[in-house]
Amino acid sequence: MFRRCWMTMPDERSRAVVKTRDFLVRLSRDSAMPDEVRNEAKFLLRHFPSQDDVILAGRIEEESETLPIGVMGPVFSSTFK
């Protein structure tokens, strides 16, 4: 079966990263979750970008048209909902 791969847009990717961080925060604080799950969420959060990090990365990419970002184009967006 052939599946089409749709490219994720920078604003969609930014939103997904921010929402994933929010999800990991909720998991890490949920006392109903097993300790193993909460500890893994806390570990991942130590290395996960914050919303401010994502916005800053988007601004840098958007304002730096001369930087060799690569074939993909910008990864993040500074504006998303």
Token code pair at residue 26: 């909720």
pTM across the whole model: 0.77
Q: Identify whether 3 is part of a domain.
A: no
Q: Identify whether 79 is part of a domain.
A: no
Please name the residues in contact with 75: beta carbons below 8 A apart, sequence gap of 6 or more.
10, 13, 57, 61, 69
- Tell me: the pLDDT tens digits for 16-55? 999 999 999 999 999 999 999 999 999 999 989 999 999 9
Q: Identify whether 37 is part of a domain.
A: yes
User: 46 lies in which domain range?
Assistant: 29-64
Token code pair at residue 68: 């060799």
Give the 3-state secondary structure of residue 5: coil
The domain total for the chain is 1
Q: Identify whether 57 is part of a domain.
A: yes
- Tell me: the pLDDT tens digits for 63-79? 776 666 555 667 788 88
Q: Identify whether 52 is part of a domain.
A: yes
Q: Identify whether 46 is part of a domain.
A: yes
Q: Identify whether 21 is part of a domain.
A: no
